[in-house]
Amino acid sequence: MTTVAVIGASRGIGLELTRQYASDGCRVHATTRTPDAPGALGDVGGDVHLHPLDVTEDGQIAALAGTLAGEAIDILIHNAGINAGRGAGDAVTTARSMRINAEAPIATVAALLDSVAASADKKVAVMSSVQGAGKPRPGSPDLYGDSKGELNKRFRAIEPEWHARGVTAVALHPGYVRTDMTGSHASLSPEESVHGIRGVLAGLTAKDSGRFLDYRGRNIAW
């Protein structure tokens, strides 16, 4: 049985990843900040296990790693993120955006890397965005894009260490998806995006590690 961990699964892309993988018979470990009130995530059928996680809390990341220490995770997808909108933002907003979008994915993957390395597939995906390509830039008005650009930079720096453990890791752009974050005018449904993402992850080989791909498997320039 394939085991998948989805970090940030309560809605949107993360919720749909959980649904589709569970529907295909995978064991899915899905995180939410509100496990006592999981909403739609609690209605997903199949072999789904919910875990509490606020990615800004180091103690919760460590607790999740401890819970999953005996579990081999074939596919780890870090999907949790926020969009603070355009504008440089105040210091608190900027720090929170960078913490959630740029720092937490690296910290969470690092904490769970032993479980991934113990699996058969050994695959990791961090959800980035094409808006982060070429960023961060001094004076940029796009806090979301800058935070994803910072994630891309950190991912490229750490990925060789993960690859040395036998892990194939990629950064993924899910497309412009209709979620609470983007609104109703986006071009893709979560179902379409996740169908593509799953196809990309299924086809990954070790030589793909370190790439920046979109949901169709197309290369994105850093």
Domain-wise residue ranges, the chain: 3-214
Cα distance between residue 94 and residue 84, in whole Å: 8
CA distance 163 to 116: 11
Whole-angstrom Cα distance, residue 11 to residue 41? 7
Residue 49 · residue 74 · CB < 8 Å: no
Residues 3/73, Cβ–Cβ less than 8 Å: yes
Find tokens 């220490």 and name the residue. 69
H or E, element range at 60: helix 58-67
pTM given for the model: 0.93
Asked if 173 and 197 count as a contact pair (C-beta separation under 8 A), the reply is no
Reading the chain (222 residues) residue by residue, the pLDDT tens digits are 999 999 999 999 999 999 999 999 999 999 999 999 999 999 999 999 999 999 999 999 999 999 999 899 999 999 999 987 655 567 888 899 999 999 999 999 999 999 999 999 999 999 999 888 876 555 566 888 899 999 999 999 999 999 999 999 999 999 988 766 555 566 789 999 999 999 999 999 999 999 999 999 999 999
CATH code that applies to domain 3-214: 3.40.50.720
